[in-house]
Amino acid sequence: MTAFRRSASSLSAYASPLEKGLGELLSEHLRFTTGRSASPSEVRSWDRSLPVLASDLVDAGLGDVEMLVEYRLPLSGKRVDVVLAGHHPETNDHSYVVVELKQWSEAESWEEDAAMVLVPHQPGGPKLHPVLQVRGYCDYIGDFVSSVTAPEKQLRGVAYLHNAYDPAVNDLFDLPQDDNGRLFTAQRRGEFLSFLRSRLAPLSGAESADHLLSGRIRPGRQLMKVAAAEVKERTQFTLLDEQRTAFQMVMHAVERAHEEDHKTAVIISGGPGSGKSVIALSLLGELSRKGIGTMHATGSKAFTTTMRKVAGKRSTRVKELFKYFNSFMEASKNQFEVLICDESHRIRETSANRYTKAKLRTGRPQVDELLSAARVPVFLLDEHQVVRPGEMGTVRTIREHAEARGMRVHEINLKGQFRCGGSELYEEWVLRLLGLAPGGPVPWSGDDGFSLSVAASPAEMEQALRPALEQGYTARLSAGYCWPWSKAAKDRPLENDVRIGDWERPWNSRLDSWLPGVPPSALWATEEGGFDQVGCVYTAQGFEYDWSGVILGPDLLFRDGHLVIDRAANRDPAMKKTATDEEAEALIRNTYKVLLTRGMRGTILYSTDPETQEYLVSVVGGGGGGLF
C-alpha cells in the first residue's frame, strides 16, 4: 500500500461527523492500491487513533506537517502507522518522526522482561515493547532509504499510547529510551507536543514527504555478504515486529530453561524472505557473546557451506558453529543450551543414510535427535519448501514430538515478507498460481515494489538479466529438474545439459571445488560466475538474489484451466525412487514455489511448453514493468 498522505489539518477534519469516516477512506485507499480489504480491527484503529494524532499536531501549531499513514518499509511487507514529514525548526533540514500508535489503556511487563509486554483483553500472548518496535522502524528506514542521508539527525521515533495514563502502563517506562524510541501517554500529552515542536517547524511538510517517498532504495544487506559481521556484532540487520518478538521469545526461553531446568522448543514459521535466517544469525551472535553454548544447523549442504565460508571467513572456530542436522545422532541429552535449526523444513525422517554406521541405524526420528540435543531447540521453517522425498519438517510434526517429550512449545508466525521486494501480492500470486493457496490463479495486478514479466525465450531472459550484473546487482537463472545432469569432472568443462531449442547452458557444478570461472555447487547462488549456469532447487533454496529468471520445465503444465503436474517429465533421481504420485505432486509444486520466490526485486518467467507459456503471458500481462 502506497502511503496515504494528508496534512495534519486536512486529516483532522475527518474526525468531524460531517466528513466520511477516516477508516472508510483508508479502507478504500487500501483496496485501490493493493486489492486487499481492510479488517474491521484496522478500520477501528484508524478511526480511533489517527484523528487524535492529527488534532495534537494542529494544537501544537503543526497543521501543515505531512502525515504519511501506513508507510511501507522498503523491500518489506511491514508498514509504519505514521511518518510525520516536515522541516527541522533550527536547521530547516528534512525532519521525520516515526510514530507507533497504540490504543492500549493498560499494559505490563511480561514476566519481568522489559522487552515484552502483556496487554489485558488482547489475544496473541506477549507483544514486543512499542518503543523497541518503533526503534526498529527508525533503524530500518535509516538503513534502506537513501534520501535519509543523516538518520541520526533526521529521524526520531515515538510510541504514543494516547488512551493510557502513567499508572496503568508504569512498567513500560522500565525500558531505557533514546532518540529513536521514546514513549508518551495521554498523561504526557504536553511533553509530546513539546517534543513535536522540537523536531518539526510550522511549515508545509509536502516537500519533505516527497523527498522521503522518492528516495532510492539502497541495495539490501544480503544475508551471505554480512553473516561474518552478524555473528560477531549483530548490527547488520534490523529485526522488526514478529522478528524481534521471535528473538526475544528465544532469549526469554533460554533464561527460563536455565532457571527452572525445563526444556522449551521454539517454532518460528514464515514464508520466503520473512527473516528466519536473520533471526537465526542474530541469535547465534547474541547467545555466543553471552557465553551460552549454541550451535547452528541446517539440512542443506549449500546453505551450511555458505554460512561456514562467509561467517567463518577468518575463524576456524566460528566455522564449527555450523553443522548439519545429522551431526547430532550421537549428541548427549542437552549437550547444548541452544540449537538453532534453520531451514527446518529440510528435517528428514531419520538421519541415517548409506554411509551411516550400522550401530547408529536406530530408526530414531531426526526431529527427536534435534529436540534432545539442546535445552532450547529453535526451529525455523517454511512448510511450502518441503521439496524432497523423506523431508518432514512441519510445525505440526515438531510440536507433536516436542510435546510427547514433555517440553513447553512456543510458536511464532512471521507474517512479514522481506523477499520479493516485500510484495505480499506476488507471494500470494505464486501460491495461488501453483495451487498452494485457495482461490485459484489470478492475473498479476502489478506492484510498485516488484517486477514480474514473461520472456519469449530463455535467451531473451538471459539477455534481460545480464545487465543487472554489470550494474552491481545479483541475478541467477534456475529451472525445474527436467533435464539430465551429467557428472562433472575437474579436468573438463561442464556439459550443456539444459537445452531448449538452440539455447543451451550447463546445470550448476556438482563439485565441491572451483572450476575455471565456475563456483562450487554450494556457492552457486552467492559467488561470481554462478549466472552462467542454471541452478536447481537444491542450490537455490535458502538464498536470495536481486533478479531471478525461472524456467518452468515440462513437469508443470497448464491444462484445462489450471496447472497440472507431469511426474514423468521430472528427472530428479530422488523423486523417481521413493515418492508416491501424491508426494511427487506436492514436491514439484513446492519446488517451483521455492524457485519463484528467490528474487528480491523481480522475476522473469519462461515455460518450455507452448500452452503454458501462452497462459503465463495472459496472466502476467503488462503488470511487470521494466527491469530497472
DSSP string, 455-489: -SSHHHHHHHHHHHHHTT--EEEEE-S-S--PPP-
Can you say whether residue 406 is alpha, beta or left, with left for phi > 0 and alpha for psi between -120 and 50 degrees?
A: left
| Confidence class for position 38, pLDDT limits 50, 70, 90 | confident
∠29-34-39 over CA atoms, to 5°?
70
d(CA 146, CA 211): 10
Lowest mean pLDDT segment, chosen from 494-498, 500-504, 620-624: 620-624
CB 377 within 8 A of CB 410: no
Mean per-residue pLDDT, 591-616: 96
**Per-residue pLDDT tens for 524-563?**
999 999 999 999 999 999 898 999 999 999 999 999 989 9
Q: What is residue 270's predicted lDDT score, i.e. its pLDDT?
A: 92
Q: CA geometry: angle at 258 spanning 257 and 261, to 5°? A: 65
Backbone phi and psi for residue 596, each to the nearest 5 degrees, phi listed first? -75, -10
- CA-CA-CA-CA torsion sign (504, 508, 509, 510): negative
CATH code of the region 420-620: 3.40.50
Rg (CA), the chain: 26
User: CA-to-CA distance for 129 and 449, rounded, in angstroms?
Assistant: 29
Torsion sign (Cα): 337, 340, 344, 349: negative
- CA-based torsion, 29, 34, 35, 39: positive or negative: negative
**What pLDDT is attached to residue 487?**
93
DSSP states along 486-551 = PPP-TTSPPP--EEETTEEEPBPP--SS-BTTB--GGGTTTSTTGGGSEE-HHHHTT--EEEEEEE
Q: 3-class SS at 576? A: helix
pLDDT of residue 21: 75
The stretch 491-502 carries a mean pLDDT of 95
**Residue in the structure block whose three cell numbers are 517454511:** 382
Span 611-621, mean pLDDT? Answer: 95
Average pLDDT over residues 60-68: 97
Give me the pLDDT at residue 627, please.
57
Among candidate residues 457, 480, 454, 499, the one with its CA nearest the CA of residue 552: 480
pLDDT digits (tens, 9 = 90+) for 88-117: 999 999 999 999 999 999 999 998 899 999
Name which of 69-83, 168-182, 195-209 the model is least confident about: 69-83
pLDDT band at 332 (very low <50, low <70, confident <90, very high): confident
Mean pLDDT calculated for residue range 285-300: 87
Average pLDDT over residues 159-167: 97
More confident residue, 622 or 296: 296
Give residue for cell 519448501: 385
Q: How many CB atoms lie within 10 A of CB 54?
A: 27
Average pLDDT score over residue span 431-443? 94
pLDDT band at 76 (very low <50, low <70, confident <90, very high): confident
Mean pLDDT of 470-482: 95
Listed in sequence order, the residues at least 6 apart from 73 whose beta carbon sits closer than 8 Å to its beta carbon are: 79, 80, 137, 140, 141, 144, 240, 422
**Stretch(es) of the chain classified as CATH 3.40.50.300:** 223-414
From residue 142, give the alpha-carbon distance in Å to each of 94, 146, 171: 13, 8, 29
What pLDDT is stored for residue 277 in this prediction?
87
Q: Which three cell numbers stand for residue 486?
A: 551429467
Residue 218 has pLDDT above 90, yes or no: no
pLDDT score for 625: 43
Rounded distance between C-alpha atoms, residue 330 and residue 88, angstroms: 62
Q: Mean pLDDT across the chain, nearest whole number?
A: 89
Look up the pTM and report it: 0.82
Q: In this structure, what DSSP letter does residue 170 have?
A: G
Query: Residue 137: pLDDT above 80?
Result: yes
Cβ atoms of 413 and 269 closer than 8 Å: yes
Fold observed for domain 223-414 = Rossmann fold (3.40.50)
Which of left, alpha, beta for 439 (phi over 0: left; psi -120 to 50: alpha)?
left
> Roughly what angle, to the nearest 10 degrees, separates helices 223-233 and 276-289?
30
What pLDDT, on the 0 to 100 scale, is given for residue 268?
96
Residue 1 has pLDDT above 70, yes or no: no
Separation of alpha carbons 27 and 38, rounded Å: 5
Share of the chain above pLDDT 90, in %: 65
Instruction: Output the pLDDT for position 154.
Output: 97
pLDDT on residue 499: 98
Q: Following DSSP, what letter does each residue of 174-223 receive, concatenated?
A: GSPPBTTBEEEEGGGHHHHHHHHHHH--SS--HHHHHHHHTPPBPPP--H
Residue 237 has pLDDT above 80, yes or no: no
Tell me the pLDDT tens digit for each residue of 9-19.
999 887 654 45
Share of the chain above pLDDT 70, in %: 91
**Most confident stretch, 273-277, 449-453, 461-465:** 461-465
